[in-house]
Amino acid sequence: MRSLQFLILAGFVCLPARTSTLQHLSLKDMALKSTDIVRGHVQRGKPAWHGSQIFTHYLVFVGERWKGTGGPVVDLAVQGGALDGLRQTCAGAPELADGREYVLFLWRSPSGLNLIIGLSQGLFEVNSPGEEGVQASSTEVMLNSSGAGMTAAPVRMKLADMRKYVQRVVTEGR
């Protein structure tokens, strides 16, 4: 629970910052803490105000659902965007390419928004020729579970292996 609170805090504190500090999440951590895990194509939506922050919304057309019980389309919100003559950015928030396929580890925020867990950590681009999921690399400061700084190499994994691993972790619940 403490880790989830840290993620929420990291996600909402980063608005005025140039960099973000994130707790490193393993694939297992993300599988357990996500409310939904989906594979799908994204379509860029519109920016919208949520309180004093701008979020860019994307529609995710779900091809596979590895965790969760939602419908065939997910409304995904990513911090940052341009609206009403203002531009907001959030260090560590990913940019999704319109029409690209991704595996997304999502969590529903207390306000009801579907967000990518750990900012860019829960985003995997699908590399079609090799059917691999490639984690978005991040330049943000990462901390291990003890609070020490670390460098994390992006995860690269065959999608079939990732799916089996995630389903096993979710089923076992640990």
Half-sphere exposure of 172 (CA within 13 A, CB side): 10
- Distance CA(76)–CA(79), nearest Å, equals 10
pLDDT of residue 172: 94
Confidence of residue 139 (pLDDT cuts 50, 70, 90): low
- Distance CA(42)–CA(59), nearest Å, equals 6
pLDDT of residue 50: 96
pLDDT, one tens digit per residue, over 6-38 is: 444 444 444 444 456 668 899 999 999 999 999
Confidence check: pLDDT of 131 > 80: yes
pLDDT of residue 21: 65
Mean pLDDT of all residues in 125-138? 86
- The two three-digit tokens of residue 89, written as one number: 């950015």
- Distance CA(47)–CA(42), nearest Å, equals 15
Residue 143's identity, in one-letter code, is L
Residue for token pair 């950590």? 121
Cα first-last separation, the chain: 14
Residue, of 32 and 92, whose pLDDT is higher:
32
Dihedral of alpha carbons 119, 69, 61, 157, sign: positive
Confidence of residue 119 (pLDDT cuts 50, 70, 90): confident
**Residue ranges of domains in the chain:** 2-41+62-68+101-172
